Structure 1
Amino acid sequence: MIWKIKTFDQLTGEEVYKLLKLRSEVFVVEQNCIYLDPDGKDKYSYHLYLEDEGEIVACTRLLNKGVAYRQASIGRVIVKKDYRGKGISREMLLKAINFIEETMKETEIKIQAQAYLFDFYGSLGFKAISEEYLEDGIPHIDMLYKS
Structure 2
Amino acid sequence: MTVRATAVPFDRLDPHAVYAVARLRQQVFVVEQECPYPDLDGRDVEDGTRHVLLLDDTSGSALLGYARVLDDGDVWRIGRVLLDVPARGQGLADVVMRTALSVCRGRDVVLDAQSPLARWYATFGFVVDGPEFVEDGIPHVPMRLSV
Corresponding residue for residue 132 of structure 2: 132
Aligned length: 140
Give the conservation status (yes or no) of the 8 Å contact 2:76–2:109.
Answer: yes
Distance 1:91 1:10 in 2: 20
Summarize deviations over 1:80-133 as a string: whole Å, max 9, x none: 1111111111121112112212xxxx2300101111101001111001111111
1:42 counterpart SS class: coil
Normalising by structure 1, we get a TM-score of 0.90
Corresponding residue for residue 110 of structure 1: 110
1:55 pairs with 2:62: yes
Corresponding residue for residue 99 of structure 2: 95
Distance 2:108 2:66 in 1: 21
Corresponding residue for residue 75 of structure 2: 71
Identity of aligned residues (%): 34
Which of 27-36 and 48-57 deviates more?
48-57
- TM-superposed CA distance for 1:36, in Å, is 0.9
Distance 1:136 1:56 in 2: 25
2:125 counterpart SS class: coil
Give the conservation status (yes or no) of the 8 Å contact 2:5–2:99.
Answer: no
Normalising by structure 2, we get a TM-score of 0.90
What root-mean-square deviation, in Å, do the aligned CA atoms of Structure 1 and Structure 2 show?
1.1
Summarize deviations over 1:55-102 as a string: whole Å, max 9, x none: 111010111123xxx41111100111111111111121112112212x
- TM-superposed CA distance for 1:4, in Å, is 2.0
Is there any run of 5+ residues in structure 1 with no aligned partner, and where?
none
Distance 1:98 1:12 in 2: 22
